Structure 1
Amino acid sequence: MKVYLATDKQLEAIAKHDFDCSPFLLKEVVEEMLNRNLFDVMINQCARMVFGSIKRMNEVHSMALDDLLQIGRTSVFEALELFKPGNEKSFSSFVFMVIKQKFIKCIKFLEREKRDQRNEVKETETEEGLNMFDLMPSYINIEKYVIKKITLENLLNQLTKRQRQIVDLFLQDYNFDEIAEILGSKGKGRSLNKTYNDAIKKMRKGA
């Protein structure tokens, strides 16, 4: 099938109704849909469901619609990597769930960041006012951060694909029940917990 010749409705029909679409065809369909911005309506729906309104999103979280569209489109690619055909769920239903959960995680991150910033401001306030340089990380801290990130990536590369998926999602603040649903293993949170623990043991041995 030459997906670039398909109409928007034909592409959307595959994403919504073809439960057994081959991974190769689905990848081409999704990429073409992204090129045509066909997921933007879904991303908007998820954003309004999670944030309430675009105005509130701007006022409370200082996020523009373009920011959310970018997060949503990136989530589509993530969903494509995780999706398993023949799982009694269409790709559209699956990607909607992934985008929605990504936005929820985004809110939690922003709220946590605001709390951290408020705490930093309280700690660095003096009678003379706020010293902005105190809020900036030192070069040493940045260097340590980079080293830790490289080390973590090397350790993650020792894991199996399944273990890597579980650890990556866990590091994004998903719980094991949510991870099970994303990976098409609904009801198997305990099993994923064991896989996660095995992965951590393997990383510790490699550290």
Structure 2
Amino acid sequence: PNGNIEYLGRIDEQVKIRGYRIELGEIENVIRKIDYITDAAVIAREDSKGEKAIFAYMVSAEKIDSEEIRSIIAKSLPDYMIPAYLMQLDYIPLNRNGKVDKKALPAIKAGTDGYKAPRNKLENIICQSFCEVLKLDKVGIFDSFFELGGHSLRATMLVNLIEEKAGVRLSHKDIFLYRTPEKIADAVNQCVANEYNPISAVAAKEYYPMS
């Protein structure tokens, strides 16, 4: 009203990932509210599989537990806004204008450090399902689905694959709750096995009735 312009900053940090419009600043704000996090940056870029994903970078004097960070984020934001990749840095790189230098943020690769082989048939089925969904050569029983690049859409694919191979239908939430082949196998053992009934393909037609 007095003729002055108040500059609030850019408002184009919204991205679209797997059909969802996501405000990256919202994720960043949740991370920054964690007591031991001193700085954070959240970006969207393609991962090693060529899919756009959320990458989060954090600074802290303490060693950061990625799974704990994801659990905290999950209390405030929906599953599809939980970063697939997280990394602890000594500092967030800035450009000469004082803004986050996104190009200087390092790539984050999914890893399987401390590999522990499956101990039984069920764990092997689940590890193989992880490999198929995440396009990895091997997965150990203590590897986290989300540490390896999993996200909400891939979790749905994993649920379907486990049902096909093990005959048990887990919920989408179970993957976020249990995360590793070991714990998911325990969850499967608690369920009653059902016969898997695949949906058969219909005959090819010029057109189909609306359903």
Could you state the TM-score of these two structures normalised by the residue count of structure 1? 0.24
Q: Which structure has more helix as a fraction of its residues?
A: 1
Higher relative contact order (CA closer than 8 Å, sequence separation 6+)? 1
Normalising by structure 2, we get a TM-score of: 0.24
